[in-house]
């Protein structure tokens, strides 16, 4: 991978932080939900954001 500029690294760091927030929020929503369909939907969204987070981390390795 090519060397990233400090601006690019900062943008990736910001995006990683946002993904972490979204993962935590949707896991919390799933945990608090009493509707099985809503619970499943929130779990799927949390998983999608976990995949985004993992993909960004893999770009740094």
Confidence of residue 14 (pLDDT cuts 50, 70, 90): very high
Looking from the CA of 4 toward its CB, the CA atoms found within 13 Å total 12
Does residue 5 register a pLDDT over 80? yes
Instruction: Give the integer Cα–Cα distance in Å for 34 and 31.
Output: 8
- pLDDT tens per residue across span 33-60: 999 999 999 999 999 999 999 999 988 8
The DSSP code for 54 is H
The length of the chain, given as a count of residues: 61
Confidence of residue 1 (pLDDT cuts 50, 70, 90): low
Does residue 20 register a pLDDT over 60? yes
Residue with tokens 């927030």: 21
Arithmetic mean of pLDDT, 8-34:
96
Query: At how many degrees (to 10) do helices 6-32 and 36-60 cross?
Result: 160
């Amino acid at each position: 991978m090519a060397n990233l500029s400090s601006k690019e690294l900062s943008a990736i760091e910001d995006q990683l932080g946002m993904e972490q927030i979204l993962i935590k929020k949707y896991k919390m929503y799933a945990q608090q939900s009493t509707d099985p369909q809503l619970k499943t939907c929130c779990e799927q969204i949390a998983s999608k954001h976990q995949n985004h987070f993992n993909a960004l981390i893999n770009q740094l390795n």
